[in-house]
Amino acid sequence: MLCRNDVRPARPVRKAIFSLRLWQPMRQRLHSQRVRLSVPGLRRRPLCTDSGPAIGCVNARSVGNKSAILSRCITDERLEIRVITETWHERSDSVELKRVVPPGYKCIDAARPIPSDARRDTADFQNHGGLASVYSQAVEFQQRQLDLTVTTFEYL
% of the chain residues with pLDDT over 70: 63
Looking at residue 101, its pLDDT comes to 93
Among residues 96, 79, 80, the alpha carbon closest in space to that of 130 is found at 96
Looking at residue 76, its pLDDT comes to 85
Looking at residue 115, its pLDDT comes to 65
* Low-confidence residues of the chain: pLDDT under 50: 1-2, 39, 41-44
pTM for the model stands at: 0.61
Looking at residue 103, its pLDDT comes to 92
